[in-house]
Structures are given as C-alpha cells and as structure tokens.
C-alpha cells in the first residue's frame, strides 16, 4: 500500500488508516481486525481518549505492541468525560491537554504518540495556550507531531496560520465537498496534509441499499434530499461503471493533492479488506473526476466563518 508523508514532517502514513472507533469492546475481535489491517499494509491507526472511555486506546496499544516501531499511532484530546460518564465537556486548556497525554500514553502502553490531535475546537478557545501545550509536549518527547480534527473553517485557518500542525482531519466525500473550496487548497498551499473521514458518507457511497436508512429517507443527507440522493447515486453507478461506487468514493478523496490518507472505520475483517481494495484500486481519470463534480453539489461551509 502506498505511503505518504504527512505535511512537511518525516512521518509516513499508509493511504488507508484504520479508524479504530468502530472496533467495539471485544479485545479478541478487535485484535483480529487490527491484524487484518496490518496484513493489508495499513500502518496508520487512529483512536481518541473519548472512545469507550479510553478502552479503545488500551485495545489499540495492546494489539500494536509487537509492531510499535513500524506503525503510526494517532490519538486525540480535548474532551473530558463527566464523573458519571454520561456526557463530556470541551476543555482545550493547556493543563488538561498536558494531563490527558499522560493518560493516553499509559493506556496505549507507549513512550510516545506519533500524532496527537486536538479533537475539535472553537474560535473562542484559548488557541495560543492550546498550541503552547502541544509544542511543549513535542519538546518533552511525549509526542512526535500534532494536528487538528475539525470541520470548522475559521478554526482550521487559525491553527494552519499560527501553529506547526502537520495535518487536519476533515470530513470529505463526493456528497460533502465543503472542504474543497477553502480548506484543502489552504492545506496544500501551507504544506499541511488533509486526513479525511466520512469518505463513504455513512455508507451511502457503497452498495448498501439507500432505502435501508429511515433517517436518510426522512431527512436526506446534508443539503441533499432523499430524492436527490436517489437520482445522483443512480447516475453515478451507471456513468462510472465498471468502477464501483466505493472505489470511486475513495479514489475521489485520494485524487485531491492535499489528501495524504483516508481514515476508514471497520468493525470486521471483511470491511478492512474492502477498504484496502478500494484504496489500491485504479485512480479516477480526469473525465471521471469531472463527471463526479458535474453531478454532485459543490457544498459550502455556512457556519463557523
């Protein structure tokens, strides 16, 4: 599997990352899914302290112990569980981040985190203080690099211009092209990488029947109504044939020069193999990209300007 550098760092990641949030709490099953990802050439594993109250980090750390020096472990911080664990609050303070990293290191059973990401963010945050925390963690050797996970253009701009982040995890797909106009070009210009999630748009960009989701029938998806989705997906399947929809969705992301890797969740070995097949499939032609863009909406960010 192809490996790409993240931003202007020396950190190489596989084009497919395993989004570990979907692994569940059965350690034996999760380990098998992670092992399947390793067999497919995945070297990039993404988790967060928020997932399963930290248990996800424990599972990932344990499964990767034997190959620690061959993989990139990414985790996130900024959310604080309540004492009753029935909700969480946002805390991007320096004190919290520097404390949270210690807990993540312990759960992951590692001496360092390759990519430590801020798990959200608002423009009202003490951004300079947050950046200071990440910079100190780098100097202290607890993390190798840091990044941001956000879909807020105003927050992304602040971190791109003020900090040494190497990547931004952003939602991006054929059905959600909001990042295309301002976020992805900015990252490419500034030497940062995009790590994309939501590539298959909640399964809409797969062979899964559209009518299997009651919420999609009722509410649609982003600025698409159900009827618009039906028409678009029918056209895409027909006009992109023999390229299947999953391949096209993944390759559409990878065609953007700012995108270094796709984070795809998987709860089964078969899903890992399907995702790897799509990443390793034939890239889209210029004609196919033009077709996708002519049929789909060039969505825009309306909030967090």
How crowded is the C-beta side of 254, counted as CA atoms within 13 Å?
A: 27
In 3D, which of 276, 265, 200 has the Cα closest to residue 18? Answer: 265
Q: Which two tokens stand for residue 68?
A: 């620690």
Choosing from 44, 51, 172, 252, which is the catalytic residue? 51
Q: Is 128 exposed, middle or buried (0-12, 13-18, 19+ CB in 10 A)?
A: exposed
For 86, list phi and psi in degrees, rounded to 5: -105, 10
Is 51 a known active-site residue?
yes
Q: Is the peptide bond before 46 cis (omega within 30 degrees of 0)?
A: no
Phi-psi region of 255 (alpha: psi -120 to 50; beta: other; left: phi over 0): alpha
- What DSSP assignment string belongs to 152-213? -HHHHHHHHHHS---EEEEE-BTTB-THHHHHHHHHHHHT-EEEEE-TTTTTTTSSS-GGG-
Cβ contacts of residue 97 below 8 Å, gap of 6+? 77, 78, 118, 130, 133, 134, 137
**Whats the size of the chain, residue-wise?**
305
Contact 64, 71 (CB under 8 A): yes
**Catalytic residues, which ones?**
51
């Amino acid at each position: 599997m192809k490996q790409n550098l993240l931003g202007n760092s020396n950190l190489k990641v596989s084009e497919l990352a395993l989004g570990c949030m979907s692994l569940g709490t059965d350690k034996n099953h999760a380990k098998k899914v992670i092992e399947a990802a390793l067999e497919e050439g995945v070297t990039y594993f993404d988790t967060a302290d928020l997932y399963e109250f930290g248990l996800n980090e424990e599972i990932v750390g344990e499964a990767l112990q034997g190959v620690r020096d061959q993989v990139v472990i990414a985790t996130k911080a900024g959310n604080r569980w309540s004492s009753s664990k029935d909700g969480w609050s946002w805390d991007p303070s320096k004190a919290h981040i520097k404390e949270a990293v210690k807990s993540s290191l312990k759960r992951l059973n590692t001496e360092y985190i390759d990519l430590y990401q801020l798990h959200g963010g608002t423009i009202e945050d003490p951004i300079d203080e947050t950046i200071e925390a990440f910079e100190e963690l780098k100097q202290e050797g607890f993390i190798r690099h840091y990044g941001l996970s956000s879909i807020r253009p105003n927050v992304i701009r602040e971190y791109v211009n003020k900090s040494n982040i190497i990547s931004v995890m952003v939602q991006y797909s054929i059905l959600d092209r909001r990042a295309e106009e301002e976020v992805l070009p900015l990252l490419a210009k500034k030497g940062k990488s995009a790590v994309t999630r939501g590539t298959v748009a909640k399964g809409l960009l797969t062979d899964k029947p559209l009518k299997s989701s009651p919420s999609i029938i009722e509410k649609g998806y982003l600025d698409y109504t159900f009827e618009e989705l039906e028409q678009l997906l029918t056209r895409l399947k027909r006009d992109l044939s023999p390229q299947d929809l999953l391949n096209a969705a993944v390759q559409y992301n990878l065609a953007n020069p700012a995108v270094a890797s796709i984070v795809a969740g998987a709860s089964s070995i078969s899903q890992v193999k399907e995702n790897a097949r799509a990443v390793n499939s034939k890239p889209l032609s210029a004609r196919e990209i033009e077709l996708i863009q002519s049929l789909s909406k060039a969505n825009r960010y309306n909030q967090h300007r």
